[in-house]
């Protein structure tokens, strides 16, 4: 019988080897913009690939600026800009509903629908609630201070206003300056945050703008029953979803945008997508080879071997 410590050590060795392989490719990241909307406490876990490059500019958008203290001990090569206002669809003054646990704060008020009463919602997470009038910006305004020839990736975690925020930068999405989006979205028929854009609406709109869903990670509701072990299933609550430009859309974009799409695949561990893209796009493959002084295809094939 294989013991657990041996399996753990083996997985750790593979993880270190995979990270070494991917570090070989990171010098090929083009100048880019990574916009983290709802940037409290730490940078997005999937973005270490981007943050390892001095070509990356991270824009940390967070109205609760005290939650950005981690930026004081920034250890990544990426540059950082802070936007201390919330984002909205129109950029108008809005009420910020500051929840008891401030990472749950939103421009949408929490309204706990009676149909959710049996699903173990922690009222103490939301209440008591404080209301605060705040200025907001649109995504378009945040991006306007940067060159339009920079590829953009966006992460949104704003407790229900994610889709509204995307609509505030709709031209950038329709023009395909944004190569990838990670977002949180509710799956409930009656979302806790009133007026939230639901997952199906985000999927519909992003598909209409030329994007495809790569991944969805659903999370379940809680329970009013205090048991040590969960038996059976619980209903859907919300999800994290990852979208990227479709390949047929990306093929008409400049080489740097197509290269950024490859790195978006890598950041979210879609190594086969990145490999097949490079095998089909000789211009991006040759550009990366010149930049990293080795074959990115060989590096990715080695990475996939380490996954086995």
Co-location of 62 and 128 in the same domain: yes
| Residues 166/91, Cβ–Cβ less than 8 Å | no
Residue 158 lies inside a defined structural domain of this protein: yes
Give how far the C-alpha of residue 208 lies from the chain's centroid of Cα atoms, to the nearest Å: 20
pLDDT in tens, 123-161: 889 999 999 999 999 999 999 999 889 999 999 999 999
Co-location of 17 and 149 in the same domain: no
| CATH number for position 50 | 3.40.50.150
pLDDT at 265: 96
Q: Which domain holds residue 307?
A: 1-30+270-308
Co-location of 249 and 193 in the same domain: yes
pLDDT at 6: 54
Co-location of 151 and 244 in the same domain: yes
Co-location of 48 and 67 in the same domain: yes
Co-location of 96 and 234 in the same domain: yes
Residue 263 lies inside a defined structural domain of this protein: no
Question: How many C-beta neighbours within 10 Å does residue 24 have?
Answer: 18
Average pLDDT over residues 24-42: 95
Give residue for tokens 């916009």.
Answer: 35
Residue 23 lies inside a defined structural domain of this protein: yes
Dist. CA 221–CA 209, nearest whole Å? 31
Which residue has better confidence, 121 or 84?
Answer: 84
Co-location of 73 and 179 in the same domain: yes
Average pLDDT over residues 25-46: 95
Q: Which residues contact 272 (CB under 8 A, 6 or more apart)?
A: 304
Is the pLDDT at 52 greater than 50? The verdict is yes
Per-residue pLDDT band at 118 (split at 50, 70, 90): confident
Co-location of 19 and 39 in the same domain: no
Co-location of 39 and 162 in the same domain: yes
Residue 17 lies inside a defined structural domain of this protein: yes
Residue 49 lies inside a defined structural domain of this protein: yes
Q: How many domains does the chain have?
A: 2
pTM for the full predicted model:
0.93
Closest C-alpha to 134, from 98, 185, 184, 170:
98
Co-location of 61 and 130 in the same domain: yes
pLDDT in tens, 248-290: 999 999 999 999 999 999 999 999 999 999 999 999 999 999 9
Residue 195 lies inside a defined structural domain of this protein: yes
Co-location of 62 and 6 in the same domain: no
Residue 261 lies inside a defined structural domain of this protein: no
Co-location of 58 and 123 in the same domain: yes
pLDDT at 296: 95
pLDDT in tens, 173-205: 999 999 999 999 999 999 999 999 999 999 999
Instruction: List, in sequence order, the alpha helices (H) in the chain.
Output: 4-25, 48-51, 123-126, 139-144, 162-167, 170-174, 199-208, 247-250, 255-267, 271-280, 282-292, 296-307
Residue 275 lies inside a defined structural domain of this protein: yes
Closest C-alpha to 109, from 155, 159, 64:
159
């Amino acid at each position: 019988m294989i013991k657990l410590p041996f399996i753990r050590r083996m997985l750790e060795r593979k993880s270190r080897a995979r990270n070494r392989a991917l570090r070989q490719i990171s010098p090929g990241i083009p100048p880019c913009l990574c916009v983290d909307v709802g940037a409290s406490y730490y940078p997005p876990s999937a973005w270490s690939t981007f943050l390892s490059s001095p070509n990356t500019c991270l824009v940390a958008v967070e109205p609760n600026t005290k939650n950005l203290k981690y930026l004081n001990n920034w250890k990544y090569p990426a540059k950082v800009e802070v936007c201390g206002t919330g984002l909205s669809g129109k950029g108008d003054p809005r009420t910020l509903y500051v929840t008891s646990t401030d990472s749950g704060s939103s421009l949408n008020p929490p309204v706990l629908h009676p149909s959710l009463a049996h699903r173990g919602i922690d009222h103490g997470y939301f209440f008591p609630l404080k209301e605060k009038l705040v200025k907001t910006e649109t995504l378009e305004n945040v991006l306007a201070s940067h060159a339009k020839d920079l590829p953009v990736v966006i992460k949104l975690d704003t407790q229900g206003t994610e889709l509204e925020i995307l609509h505030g930068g709709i031209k950038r999405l329709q023009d395909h300056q944004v190569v990838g989006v990670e977002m949180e979205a509710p799956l409930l028929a009656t979302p806790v945050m009133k007026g939230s854009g639901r997952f199906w609406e985000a999927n519909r709109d992003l598909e209409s703008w030329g994007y495809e869903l790569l991944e969805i990670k659903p999370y379940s509701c809680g329970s009013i029953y205090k048991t040590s072990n969960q038996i059976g299933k619980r209903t859907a609550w919300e999800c994290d979803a990852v979208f990227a430009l479709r390949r047929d859309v990306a093929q008409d974009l400049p080489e740097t945008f197509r290269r950024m799409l490859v790195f978006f695949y890598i950041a979210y561990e879609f190594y086969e997508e990145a490999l097949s893209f490079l095998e089909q796009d000789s211009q991006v493959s040759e550009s990366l080879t010149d930049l990293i002084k080795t074959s990115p295809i060989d590096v990715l094939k080695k990475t996939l071997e380490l996954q086995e």
